[in-house]
A and B are shown apart, each in its own frame.
Chain A
Amino acid sequence: MSTVKEQLIEKLIEEDEDSQRKITVVGIGAVGMACAISILLKDLADELVLVDVAADKLKGEMMDLQHGSLFFSTSKITSGKDYSVSANSKIVIVTAGARQQEGETRLALVQRNVAIMKSIIPPIVRCSPDCKILVVSNPVDILTYVVWKISGLPATCVIGSGCNLDSARFRYLIGEKLGVHPTSCHGWIIGEHGDSSVPLWSGVNVAGVALKTLDPKLGTDSDKENWKNIHQQVIQSAYEIIKLKGYTSWAIGLSVMDLVGSILKNLRRVHPVSTMVKGLYGIKEELFLSIPCVLGRNGVSDVVKINLNPEEEALFKKSAETLLNIQKDLKF
């Protein structure tokens, strides 16, 4: 007795089950789910996988996304506690781990999250040996280094979401001050994704006009318009949002979506993300910090050699020292 499906549909050829743009999100807290929904809304994946340890919430989140399938083009959404569901992912986004409590710095999370990376990275790599790993969990620069070490992957394949978000926040605030859309305001924040991040004031520009040529005091303490405060706001923004709503999710989710787009579509756009900086700016240790990187199908294929002025270089090195101080005591 034939089923409705058999009566309705005549099969011509077996379905090709291999996904070409499979993305796995590890960790289904607010950040992981914000990444997931942003990726779905941008139609970046043909398969989206959620992985977490909380079985009920995992299934519930997967079902809720599946129920929205009519409204987007990602035809396969799956989930599981076992990493086998993530096999052959092009990108694995790691958001798992403890998050900042009110008033807590990102660096305070380090030991707890290193332990988590030790348990999740080996199966991720086993199941998707050719993937790019995008680390989001904080403190992201240190954890990207840890993930790189544990994974055994080339450094170009392990990318920290880093200052892509800081720079987005920076450009939003500059845009607000000038009455111009953020995409038309250019500005880079590099270094630690955190309190010691480095704003490159000399590069801040609109239509190629460097704001510093209009006001040489831009970004200094003697600047009457106090543009420096914008960078302070970027640093404080996470703390402030956490105080108000308990966590941040939307902006980081969109930022991750931005990076995924560049990688999957091989766009070779330049993003300030956390990468291995040994050998650059006089740094001698193995360390991950955000600098402008060209992102494409192979991950970080090139880095842009920015001319840092002496002050910026000093701040960048200070950022490096802050992280090295913590990294040197890590056991994993």
Chain B
Amino acid sequence: MTTLKEKLIAPVAEEEATVPNNKITVVGVGQVGMACAINKLEGEMMDLQYGSLFLQTPKIVADKDYSVTANSKVVVVTAGVSQQEEESRLNLVQRNVNVFKFIIPQILKYSPDCIIIVVSNPVDILTDVTWKLSGLPKHRVIGSGCNLDSARFCYLTAEKLGTHPSSCHGWILGEHGDSSVAVWSGVNVAGEVHKMVVESAYEVIRLKGYTNWAIGLSVADLIESMLKNLSRIHPVSTMVKGIYGIENEVFLNLPCLLNAQGLTSVINQKLKDDEVAQLKKSANTLWDIQKDLKDL
């Protein structure tokens, strides 16, 4: 007895389970609290699926089992524990290491050829943790880092000048956070705007509890460069040992070329002495924490 589908549609080719070309996985749920999270996961998936008429992503899937992530081109890691009151940064990082020890091998098991974008904070350290846990070559592990800071910088600079952010070029490099470095020839404006960039992130958190829109757009921007093989340059977190005289294996933000293979080049910016000093100082701060991490 033929189904309606069979009456309507005559297949011309065997439907193969083809490997998707542009599959993206977002890992946003940690091991802790999985029970409540499962429902939220399914709810979010359904809500997105019901928008399919308006989208061009024909397959939206969610699961706590990593097998659904198989053959992903890019995996975005936003999972992580949040800082407890008065918790030290080392402790926070150690707790996140324990979460990543579960997540990263699962990701690699099903998508051995993927590129991982780490978003969870502290991103430079966690990108290093991801790199070590994954065993991936360094061009396939990227920290989203300062792509967002630089976008904020461009926005704030553009506001000051009355132009569109895309016409303002500024680079925030180094450590993603309070000690990032603004590199721009218009030093006076840059210094003031840079301070606003650092403060603005805290302010959004204070006002609405978290940030999400801008970081989401920033990550999409990075993914676009890779999936469309654009070879655009973005300030993202990469392994900087051997650059600017840095001796330890740490991840810091530098201008990097992103394309279909991942992070394939680092741009050699001529930095001033104080900027290089700041980078080295950040490298030491990060190494101080990383060296005490257990179970890596």
Contact = CB atoms under 8 A, between A and B. Distances in A.
Given A15-B162, A179-B9, A250-B51, A37 B213 contact: yes
A254 interface: yes
A276 interface: no
Of the candidates B39, B44, B52, the one having the most CB atoms from chain A within 10 angstroms of its own CB is B52
Contacts of A9: 161-163
Interface in B1-55: 3-5, 7-9, 15, 39-40, 42-44, 46-55
B165 interface: yes
B40 A245 contact: yes
B288 interface: no
A178 B208 contact: no
Interface in A121-157: none
Contacts of B216: 68
A251 B208 contact: no
B212 A211 contact: no
A304 interface: no
B10 to A, nearest CB: 12
B259 interface: no
A70 B165 contact: yes
Contacts of A165: 50
Interface extent on A, as a size class? 35 or more
Contacts of A67: 148, 151-152, 155, 200, 204, 211, 213-214
Of the candidates B50, B148, B206, B217, the one having the most CB atoms from chain A within 10 angstroms of its own CB is B50
B78 to A, nearest CB: 15
A251 B4 contact: no
Given A68-B217, A179-B5, A250-B47, A172 B53 contact: yes
Of the candidates B158, B189, B207, the one having the most CB atoms from chain A within 10 angstroms of its own CB is B207
B53 A168 contact: yes
Given A63-B203, A64-B214, A178-B5, A250 B48 contact: yes
A182 B52 contact: yes
Given A241-B47, A254-B54, A257-B54, A63 B207 contact: yes
B154 interface: yes
B268 interface: no
B43 A178 contact: no
Interface of B: 3-5, 7-9, 15, 39-40, 42-44, 46-55, 58, 148, 151-152, 154-155, 158, 160-166, 186, 188-189, 200, 203-209, 211-214, 216-218, 220-221
14 contacts: A56-B208, A57-B209, A63-B200, A63-B207, A65-B213, A67-B204, A68-B213, A69-B164, A178-B8, A180-B9, A241-B43, A244-B43, A248-B47, A249-B47
Interface of A: 4-5, 8-9, 15, 33, 37-38, 56-57, 59-61, 63-72, 75, 165, 168-169, 171-172, 175, 177-183, 206, 209, 211, 214-215, 218, 225, 227, 237, 240-246, 248-251, 253-255, 257-258
